[in-house]
Structures are given as structure tokens and as C-alpha cells.
Homo-oligomer: A and B are copies of this chain.
Amino acid sequence: MVRMAFSAQLEYEVLDAGCDFIFNIQAAYTPRQTVVEESLGLEPALTASYYTDPQTHSRFIALQAAQGRLSVRYSAVVDLIHFEAAPGELFELSPQALPGSVLPYLYPSRYCQSDRLLAFAGQQFGGLSAGYSRAKAICDWVGQHVSFQGNTSNSNTSALDTLIDRVGVCRDFAHLMIALCRAINLPARMVSGMDYGADPALGPPDFHAYVEVYLCDASGAGRWYMFDPSGTAIPMGFVRFCTGRDAADIAFATIFGSVNAAQPVISIQAVPDAWGQLVVPQHVGYALSTDGA
């Protein structure tokens, strides 16, 4: 078990009267991610609506802000109880054997146009033996063929652009890996959290986007396993905020109006658990999942 303490602070100057926001910055409640404590502060004090998606456990905060300053602060302590599996024991399911709720993650989405990549993904990864190692091969290929570089992509950049341009940030790496997985019929989705363990040379701590691939273990149980194609952070320290098909679903803030936004201020660290034990997340050679029971 890993205990993570983190906080996010978002500051806006709202330019329009009556600007709507939808935030996805809260830790999801799942059997393997227990929220020990959390606190949400809105300034000015505003009435917000809260919604939890029953399938993804993503938590939405919807509110309308008046002109002027809006400040959102969220902090939490969560316990991550990872499911760990030996890579060699994880296999792929054929589409017809997938649970129905997994099917949407086989289909193309806004930024992951897997329908265009059938031939390329087939050429490149079709011949590899199926299972965790193939998902890992895709993850590694993306990490090796795309350069991490800030300000090279924008909100319109898709997996096809990244395949062509070979440059991007964490969301672009994730989109390309997801699209390639779906193109070989491997369900893949995107998760938002924080870039625990990232090299300070890449900038201050930030939100992060990573990938989950649906695989089945030897007992026949399917789960979503974590991958970090950008390789910039340490998956064992990833907290789950929002889960979706791609960045269109999991933006930390969707804003309907004109604002000036400050750079989010993020902090995340491993802390001792209730028994005083500190487990520091590290890179591991086995497969990790925070999905399921």
C-alpha cells in the first residue's frame, strides 16, 4: 500500500459574467484507491453540483462563477492498494469476450483515431505475441519515437498528428499509445492524475495523463493495467482523478466562457500510512492496476 498526499490550486480571473466550469480534480473513490481525507475549497463560496459517473467513478464539479476571481483548492490523502501481476500471466481478450462496459474503449475517439491505424499497428505490432508484453511494446515504441517537448502541441493535436510530428507532451504520448492499442483490438483508456516523480527539469509538478489497458489474468479476471508512455513519472505514485476515452473526457477544467488562468499549483508526495510506514513509489517490473476489487 502507498499513501499519497497531494493538493491542487487553480486560480482564475473570470472575464464574463456567468461563466460555467466543470472540474475533474478529485480523487476517484474505488476499491483500490481509498480517500483517507480530502478537502475542497471554493472562493468565493459558490453552490456547485457534484456528479460521480457510475462506470468510471470520475467525479465532476459543475459551477457557475461570477465575474472576478475564482479560486479552487483541493487536497487529499489517498491509499493506493495496487493489484500486482506478473506480466507473463496477463493475456488479451478477443473483442467478443470483453465485458460490455469495456467496448467503448475499443472504438476511436476524438484524439485517438484508431480506425486510421489498423494497417500501421498491424505491421508494427500485429506479429508480437499477445498479452501485457505487447501493450508494453507499444508503450515503449511510443516513448522511443516521440520526443517530450513542451509547447509543441495544442488542444487540437491528435494521435495522428503525434504519429506524424513525433513530438508532444504526456497527453500526446497517451493518445498515440491508446490509438495504437485500439487498432490491434486492445481496449485502452486515459486517466488523469499528477506526475509524481517527474524530473524537476521538465518543470514544476503538474497534472498528468496516463494510459490503462484492459487485460485478463490467469484467474480469468479482467482489469485495467497502468502504462505511462511518456515515461516521465512513476506509475506506482499515480492517483486516479478522471477516466475517459481521451483528453476530451478528462480535462481537469472545462471552461465555458472567457477567463485568465494562472498556472495550476500542484504538489504530491508519498507520506507515512496510519502505522507510520512510508512506502515510496518506484519503478517496478510487474504490472500494476488500481482498477477493480
Interface residues, chain A, with chain B CB atoms under 8 Å away: 18, 20-22, 48-49, 51-55, 60, 62-64, 94-101, 103-104, 106-110, 113, 115-117, 119-120, 123, 145, 147, 155-156, 160, 163-167, 185, 248-249, 254, 256
For A52, the chain B residues whose CB sits under 8 A away are 100
- The answer to whether A119 touches B167 (Cβ under 8 A) is yes
Contact partner of A60 (CB less than 8 A), chosen from B18, B103, B120, B185, is B103
Give A113's nearest chain B residue, CB to CB.
Answer: B110
Q: For the complex formed by this chain, how many copies does it contain in all? A: 4
- The answer to whether A96 touches B21 (Cβ under 8 A) is yes
For A60, the chain B residues whose CB sits under 8 A away are 100, 103
What is the interface of chain A mostly: helix, strand, loop, or mixed? mixed
CB distance from A96 to the nearest CB of B (A): 4
- Other contacts beyond A116-B165, A119-B165: 13, CB < 8 A: A20-B95, A22-B103, A49-B97, A51-B101, A51-B103, A53-B101, A60-B103, A64-B94, A107-B110, A110-B110, A119-B147, A120-B164, A123-B166
Can you name 18 A-B residue pairings with CB atoms under 8 Å? A20-B94, A22-B96, A49-B96, A49-B97, A51-B101, A51-B103, A53-B101, A54-B54, A54-B55, A55-B55, A60-B100, A63-B96, A108-B248, A110-B113, A110-B115, A119-B165, A119-B166, A164-B164
A63 to B119, CA, bound (A): 23
- The answer to whether B160 touches A164 (Cβ under 8 A) is yes
CB distance from A249 to the nearest CB of B (A): 6
The 4 closest A-B pairs by CB, nearest first: A51-B100, A119-B166, A62-B96, A20-B96
